[in-house]
Amino acid sequence: MSLEEIVRKTREACGASALAVVSRDGAIIAADMPREVAKETFSIMCATILGAGMTAANELGKTPPSRVVLDSEDLQIMILESGKRSMVVAVLPPGSDPYSVEPRLKGLMSAASQI
């Protein structure tokens, strides 16, 4: 199964409105997102957010985060580290429990970490 197919099936299984595998420098590797989303802008900003969290933790002498969750009134964005070169980004409905969604992303994270 291709990475694109794994992304699509995983998005459906976890109830995300968008799901992407993004490189550390912000390039889209595979995605299942609404057409109106500017994928490049979205992926670059997600990579920046995770990178900023890692830099902030490093400056504090702490372990870098493996995930960042952004909450707003109408969505949640969960950014998960998946290996040294990529991350998985899930756009979830508001009020979702990211910790209950994360196990459903493990297969995709494993596939993404092989990139």
Range of the domain at 9: 3-113
Whole-number pLDDT of residue 20: 98
The residues that bridge with 80 in the sheet, in sequence order, are 67, 88
Residue with tokens 């099936």: 9
- Cβ-contact 102, 78 below 8 angstroms: yes
- pLDDT for residue 113 is more than 90: no
Question: Please, which residues have CB within 8 angstroms of residue 111's CB and are 6 or more apart in sequence?
Answer: 3, 6
Number of domains making up the chain? 1
- Using one digit for the tens of pLDDT, what is the confidence trace for 20-77? 999 999 999 999 999 999 999 999 999 999 999 999 999 999 999 999 999 999 999 9
pTM: 0.93
Select the more confidently predicted residue: 113 or 35.
35
What CATH number is given to the structural domain containing 23?
3.30.450.30
pLDDT band at 115 (very low <50, low <70, confident <90, very high): confident
Three-state DSSP at 104 gives: helix
